[in-house]
Amino acid sequence: MPMNEALHPDSSDYCYSWNENLVKKTNTEISKVFDEEVKMSSASSIIKKIQELNPGVVMETDLDRGIIYASVNVEELNLPRWFYYNQKNGITNKHNTQSGIYGSVHVYPIEYSDPYAVYYN
pLDDT tens digits, 15-65: 555 455 545 556 677 677 667 777 778 888 999 999 999 999 999 998 888
Tell me the one-letter amino acid at 28: T
Determine the Cα–Cα distance for residues 104 and 25; give it in Å rounded to an integer. Answer: 30
Domain region containing 74: 11-121
For residue 20, what are the CA distances in angstroms to 12, 13, 24? 12, 10, 6
Q: What is the 3-state secondary structure (H, E, C) of 58-117?
A: CEEEECCCCEEEECCCHHHCCCCCCCEEECCCEEECCCCCCCCCCCEEEEEEHHHCCCCC
Residue 97 confidence (pLDDT): 79
Would 4 be classed as within a structural domain? no
Would 3 be classed as within a structural domain? no
Residue 36 confidence (pLDDT): 78
Would 25 be classed as within a structural domain? yes
Q: Which of the four pLDDT bands, split at 50, 70 and 90, describes residue 7? A: very low
Would 85 be classed as within a structural domain? yes
pTM equals 0.66
Specify the number of domains making up the chain: 1
- Which 3 state secondary structure label does DSSP give 20? helix
Q: Beta-carbon neighbour count of residue 24 at 10 Å?
A: 10
pLDDT digits (tens, 9 = 90+) for 79-112: 998 899 999 989 998 888 777 888 899 999 999 8
Would 40 be classed as within a structural domain? yes
Would 5 be classed as within a structural domain? no
